[in-house]
Structure 1
């Protein structure tokens, strides 16, 4: 089978998952080729399958990216599928999961035209766009710097972007973030991310913020929350899912459910690329 590993022109040399994934797929008899979604010369119909991998710049042109997903799906198979991608690329999905009873980091949303100061008072909090990735346009603020945060929100709203404001969970500074990786609904591995955002610091201007990654064994409580989150995914279990959890005062809290272009951290978990390839073959064998 000819498989396109969809990346971005700017991410070709940055995605550390691509080499081990390509090797694992080719060991199972597939031809796997990294291809940039934003390369207009690509004929996607020549592939039997397109795997969304490191399309990390989609946040700068989300409408074009979603149109591209639909166009690719009209020509071949896209995983994860367009409907799921459309739902997952806008962090307002977190509000839906919270309404369903899942333990989500408390989230307050602002839409263009709304008061940029219309979010609750927090001692420490994070401002981010609802469509965003890699910590771009994301900043951590303290209460004395609320005016700077309001200005940040105003810039995003005036650019036509929806905004998410969340309290900063202080345990992140000591415990970090846990990301659990699931392939076709089965747990593969997990990693720890160190704290990313400096207090009252500047947002990254790079494609993504540098991350301190180490392997991690999730707690029983983290597994329990992750499985509840997976069960709430619209349309059933996808080929790949990454559940990002933060330590809250009352237990793990969902920060993000990554179903579009998450790093899968193959270099930190021996055998994980092979597990992904096996999961893909299982999906392909299902009518």
Structure 2
């Protein structure tokens, strides 16, 4: 049986690394469908922690960031490593921009969730009313993130901001958008396909994650409840505008995830743009793994 061109082109022993972390060194269970799809295309996948001693990153045809979820504790070292990898997806300059949520400052003019910033050493006064989210600008998996009701929990919120500042971390403060409790959050997943261009793969709904002040996370991430969702025209339009603003252009990306939440007026607001190590939810949309496998094969 003859293989389609994109499959036939990968029967040359191509090797792809899935970048992981020391705490979870193997292929994450959520990424196994992608590894299986690549195996069907003759592409060998190896899981390698980003800081593995002696790893020969130049030996891989492509190095794909998947689950290096401990980088937030050593971001400088992680970025220095990324800059040395010859064939990294997504590219190292995108990773440097995207791993600090202050990239939201660069998206001024787009519908972004209102955000205040508190640098180490700066004073901050908690708002008098409403619910607010406090988190560091460098974080992943919902770690070091809390939800605070004012004025009852103002002291706890202030302590959270101060704790981040003492650790040399910039805090970000955002209003808690109540629509997440009913409508949920929409994540639009974009992947490269056989044509090498980034396109919409699928979308999912995430239930509300925060239920109170930061009490720590047991592990590298909080558990989320995920279901399939059809994105609205408004969400697609906002996602398109966000991707168009990515430095260097979106077509350099192997994948992207645009996380949106309804604002007070019901219109979608950007919560996060995930370009470094997002979960892509292959279990909700199995064909996504096939599309991304074609995209990786095209790059090989």
TM-score class normalised by the smaller sequence: over 0.9
Q: Is 1:279 the equivalent of 2:292? A: no
Q: Deviations over 1:24-70 (max 9, x none)?
A: 11222211111111222322222121100011111011111111101
Select the residue among 168, 178, 183 that pairs with 1:175.
183
Q: Deviations over 1:236-280 (max 9, x none)?
A: 111110000011122011000000000011111021101011122
Give matches, 1:134-153, under 5 Å: 134-143=141-150, 144-153=152-161
TM-score scaled by structure 1?
A: 0.93
Q: How many residues align?
A: 278
Q: Secondary structure at the match of 2:23?
A: helix
How far is the alpha carbon of 1:120 from its aligned partner?
Answer: 4.7
Q: What is the match of residue 136 of structure 2? A: 129
Q: Deviations over 1:90-114 (max 9, x none)?
A: 00011211x2x11001000111121
Q: Secondary structure at the match of 1:124?
A: strand
Q: Take 1:30 and 1:187, find their aligned partners in 2: how far apart are those partners?
A: 24
Q: For the pair shown, which has the larger CA radius of gyration, 1 or 2?
A: 2
TM-score scaled by structure 2?
A: 0.89
Gaps of 5+ in 1: none
> Deviating runs (4+, > 6 A) in structure 1?
none
Q: Take 2:173 and 2:50, find their aligned partners in 1: how far apart are those partners?
A: 30
Q: Take 1:166 and 1:14, find their aligned partners in 2: how far apart are those partners?
A: 34
How far is the alpha carbon of 1:204 from its aligned partner?
Answer: 1.7
Structure 1 stretch displaced more, 270-279 or 33-42: 33-42
Q: Take 2:103 and 2:129, find their aligned partners in 1: how far apart are those partners?
A: 22
Q: What is the match of residue 11 of structure 2? A: none
Q: Take 2:125 and 2:75, find their aligned partners in 1: how far apart are those partners?
A: 25
Query: Which structure's residues are more often helix, by fraction?
Result: 1
Would the aligned equivalents of 1:136 and 1:205 in 2 still touch at CA under 8 Å?
no
Q: What is the match of residue 5 of structure 2? A: none
Give matches, 1:81-120, under 5 Å: 81-97=91-107, 99=108, 101-115=109-123, 117-118=124-125, 120=127
Q: Secondary structure at the match of 2:112?
A: coil
Q: Take 2:212 and 2:166, find their aligned partners in 1: how far apart are those partners?
A: 25
Gaps of 5+ in 2: 1-13, 193-197
Structure 1 stretch displaced more, 76-85 or 10-19: 10-19
Q: Take 2:20 and 2:129, find their aligned partners in 1: how far apart are those partners?
A: 37
Q: Take 1:220 and 1:122, find their aligned partners in 2: how far apart are those partners?
A: 33
Q: What is the match of residue 272 of structure 2? A: 256
